Structure 1
Amino acid sequence: MTAREHEYVCLCWKCCSGRDNKTEEKLPDTTGWAAFLLAEWEKTWYSSLDFRISQRKGGVLNIKTREYQYDNLRFLLIALVVLGHLLEIAGEFPHRELLYELIYSFHMPAFLFLSGMFARFDRIKWIFGMAVPYLLFQWIYTSFVEKLGDPYVHVQFSRPYWILWYLFVLAIYTLLLPIYDVPSPAGRGLMVAVSVVLALLVGFDQSIDYQWSASRIVAFQPWFLLGYYFRRADGLRVRWEGAGRTFKGIVLSLAAVCVVVLERLLFQRGITAKMMLGAYGYENLGYSWQARGLIMCCAACTIFLLVLGLAPCLKRRIPVVTTLGENTLSIYLFHGFFFHLIRLKYPWLLERPWQVFAVWAGLLLLLGNPVVGRCTGFLFGAGWYRRLPWRRAEQKKSAAKRNVPT
C-alpha cells in the first residue's frame, strides 16, 4: 500500500469508526479496497479539487479543498491589473487606449466580488494582514516614490497611495461584515439595493476625492456585497448548477451580448478610464450618474460571465496559471515598485507593445512564484504572529481546557 493510499484509508477508517488520534488499535492492511476507494475518489473529487488533510484549532480532523477555478480567475484579474498599470505609462501604439479602458471597465469590481466571496472577520488577520500592511506599505511606497523624484508624493496616511486604496477599502468592508451579515434574502437584497443607490449618489458630492478613499468605499461597496452574499446563497448556486446546458447557454449568451453592447456604449459616450475609478465627482470629470450606472451594468454582466460562465470551465489546476493565482498578494503588493521605477527612471522600457508584454510576463512570473508568495503570505497574512511561542502556548491552553489533543 502506498503512503497516499494509506492516508485515505486512515481518513475513512477514522471517519467511519469514530476513532480519534489517540486510538491504539492498528488499522487493517486493506490494500484492495484502499485502491478501489482511491480510484473512486479520484473520479469524483481529486481530479478537480486539492485535498489537504489538516487539523483545525483543537485537533479536529478536517478536509480542506482548494477551489482552483477561483485561483485561475484571480490570476486573470491580477494579470489585468498589472497590464492596465503598464499600459497607463506605455508609449503610444494602436489600440492601447481601447485595451486600457476595457480592462478598467470591470477588473476592480470583479476583484472586489471575489474578495467578498471569501471575506470573513478574523481579528488577528485584520490587524496583521490588513491594517499593519497598509500602514507599512503606505510609508514604504510614498518614501520610495518621493526618493525617486516625484515632487507630488509625500509620506502621509490619510490618502491611500495608488494601489493601496484597495487594501484600505477591503479593511473597511471587513470591519463592516457584522452589519453586512443579514440572514434573510430580502434583507440582503435591500442591502445591495441601498449600496447601489449610494454608489450613484456619491458622485454628486464634488468635495469627495482620494481622502480616506471615501468615494471608492461607497462606489465599490455593491461588488463586495454581491460577492459576500453570492457565496452564501447556496440555493441560488445549486439551482444554477442543476440547470440544463441549453438554459445556461442561452443566459450566458445574452450576458455576452449585453457586455458587447454596453462596452460599445461606453466608448461611444466617451467614458474614460478615469471615470471608472470611482474617485471623482460627476462635475469634476463632466459625466453623469447615468454614465456610472452604465459602467456598473457593464461590470455586472462581465462578472456574471466570469463567475458563472468561465469559472466552471477552470476547475482543474493549470500549470503556472493556478500557481500565480494562488500568489496574487505578492504580485499586488510589489509590482508597484517596478511600475514607479520604470515610470520615473526607465520609461523607454515600455515604448513598444512587445516590451510592455515582456515586462508584464516577467513581473507576473517573478512576483507570483511560490517562494515569494509564501514569504509574503507569512509576513503579511498573520502567519508569523500565529507561530510566536506565546501564541502557540495560548492555543495549547485553549485546547487543554476543551480536553482536545493538539
Structure 2
Amino acid sequence: MFHAPHGNQRAPLPTARESEPVPTTQQAHTQVVDAPAEKSAPKSACRDAYFDNAKYLAIVLVAVAHAWEPVMDGSRASRALYLLVYSFHMPAFILISGYFSRSYTGRPDQLRRLLTGIAVPYVVFEVVYSLFRRWAQDAPEQPISLLDPFYLTWFLAALFIWRLTAPLWRLIKWPVPVALTLASLATLTPDIGADLNLQRVLQFLPFFVLGLCLKPEHFQLVRRREARLLALPLFAGAGVFAYWASAHMNFGWLYRSSSAQELGVPWWAGIVMTLAFFGCALLLTAGFLAWVPRRRTWFTVLGAGTICGYLLHGLLIKAADYGRVFEDYAWLSDPGGEIMLTLIAAAAVTLLCTPPVRRSLRWVTEPDMRWAFRRDATELGRLRR
C-alpha cells in the first residue's frame, strides 16, 4: 500500500481492531430461518426486534395453516381463512429472507454460513423426514433423495439457490420484472420436474428478489400509523374476497408447485395468476408487516429460533397425519376442534422456537464446522496481525 503523492512511503498497517469487521443487524439476520450470529457480537446489539417479531409471527401462521389443511374441507369459512393466510405468510417470510441477503456477495465466510446454516440442515432433515415416513408407513422401499425435497424442506433448498444467485440479481437493471417473467414462464412449463422443487423455487423467486431491492426506508413506510390503519380495511376486504374465492379457486395455485397445464387451465392463466397472486401477496405482506410490533416483546427472542420451529413442527403435523388423528377424530373439523388445533399449533411452534430447543439443535442448525473448511487469505492475515 503506497501514498502516491509521497513516493514510496509505506502506509501504516491498520490495527487489529480496525481490521475486524463490525457486526451489523444485517449480518446477524443473514438468513431468516435463522443464521448463527457472529460469535464475538453481543446479540442484543446485532438483532432488530421488529424483524425478530415478524419472523416469529410468520412462523406461527405457517404452523397454524399446516394444522388447518387436513380439517378445513368441511367449512367454507375455514377454507377462506386458510386461503387468506396462505396468500402471504410464505411470501412475507421469503421477502424478509431476500432483504437480509442484500449483503451476500459470495465471500468465503458467507459461503461457509450458507453451507452450515442452510445446506447441512436441509440434508439432515430431508433424511429425518424420509426415514420418519418410512417408519410410519412401514414402507422401507421408499427412496431417500436429496434432489426431491419432502414436505417442508423445499424452503431450505430454495433459500440455498436464491442466496447463491443474489449477486446476479444486483447486476440486473430490472430485477423484479425479470424475476416475474421467470415465474410466469415456470407456470407454462410442466416438464420442469421435481428436482429441488424448481417449480416452487422459480414461482416464489420474485418475493426474494423484491426483498433484495428493498431498503430500510421501505420498512419505515409500513411501520407508520397510517399504514396500520390502512391494513384494517385491506384485510377486511381480502377476507370477504377469500370467502367468495374459496368455493371457486383451485388451491393448487397457492403452493406454486404446479404449472397451469397441470392444474387443468389454459397456459395464459399461469401468467395472469402469477401477476395477480404477486400483487395480492405484496399488499397483504405490507399489511402484515404494518401490524408487527416494533418494540421488544415476550416473543422477540423466539425470532432467533424460527429454523427450529419451522423444521420441527412439520414432524408433529406428519405424526398426526400418519397416525390418522385427523381422520379418526372427525370433530376436529368442527369450529371448536379447529380452534383447538389453532391453539395447539401456535403453542407447539412457540415452544419449538425457544432458546433451550435452539441450543439443543445447534449441532445441526448452526454447526461449527471449521474443521471442514480452509481458511482464506484474509482471515489468515487478520490472525497474523
Which TM-score band (shorter chain)?
0.7 to 0.9
Alignment deviations for residues 174-214 of structure 1 (CA, whole Å, 9 cap, x no partner): 111221223xxxx45x1110111221121111223433211
Change (3 A) 1:349 1:69: farther
Alignment counterpart, residue 263 of structure 2, candidates 285, 300, 309: 285
Q: Distance in 2 between matches of 1:346 and 1:277?
A: 23
List runs of 5+ in structure 1 lacking aligned partners.
1-18, 22-54
Which amino acid in 2 is paired with 1:81? Answer: V
Aligned to 2:5: none
Q: Distance in 1 between matches of 2:42 and 2:308?
A: 30
Deviation for aligned residue 1:274: 1.9
Which amino acid in 1 is paired with 2:341? Answer: V
Alignment counterpart, residue 317 of structure 1, candidates 288, 296, 300: 296
Matched, 1:359 2:344: yes
For residues 363-382 of structure 1, the aligned pairs below 5 Å read 363-382=348-367
Aligned to 2:382: 399
- TM-score, normalising length from structure 2? 0.74
- The 3-state SS of whatever aligns with 2:317 is helix
Deviation for aligned residue 1:344: 0.9
List runs of 5+ in structure 2 lacking aligned partners.
1-14, 18-36
Aligned to 2:167: 178
- The 3-state SS of whatever aligns with 2:47 is strand
Deviates more, 1:373-382 or 1:105-114: 373-382
Alignment counterpart, residue 202 of structure 2, candidates 218, 230, 238: 218
Alignment counterpart, residue 185 of structure 2, candidates 201, 205, 210: 201
Change (3 A) 1:20 1:103: same
Which amino acid in 2 is paired with 1:375? Answer: S
Q: Distance in 2 between matches of 1:363 and 1:244?
A: 32
- The 3-state SS of whatever aligns with 2:187 is helix
- The 3-state SS of whatever aligns with 1:163 is helix
Q: Distance in 2 between matches of 1:338 and 1:310?
A: 29
Alignment counterpart, residue 105 of structure 1, candidates 84, 87, 112: 87
Q: Percent identity?
A: 23
Deviation for aligned residue 1:75: 1.4
Q: Distance in 1 between matches of 2:52 and 2:297?
A: 10
Q: Distance in 2 between matches of 1:172 and 1:390?
A: 21
Count of aligned pairs between the two proteins: 333
Deviation for aligned residue 1:222: 0.5
Deviation for aligned residue 1:62: 11
Aligned to 1:385: 369
Which amino acid in 1 is paired with 2:114? Answer: W
Which amino acid in 1 is paired with 2:294? Answer: K
Q: Distance in 2 between matches of 1:129 and 1:244?
A: 33
- The 3-state SS of whatever aligns with 1:285 is coil
Deviation for aligned residue 1:218: 1.0
Change (3 A) 1:317 1:377: farther
Q: Distance in 2 between matches of 1:267 and 1:322?
A: 34
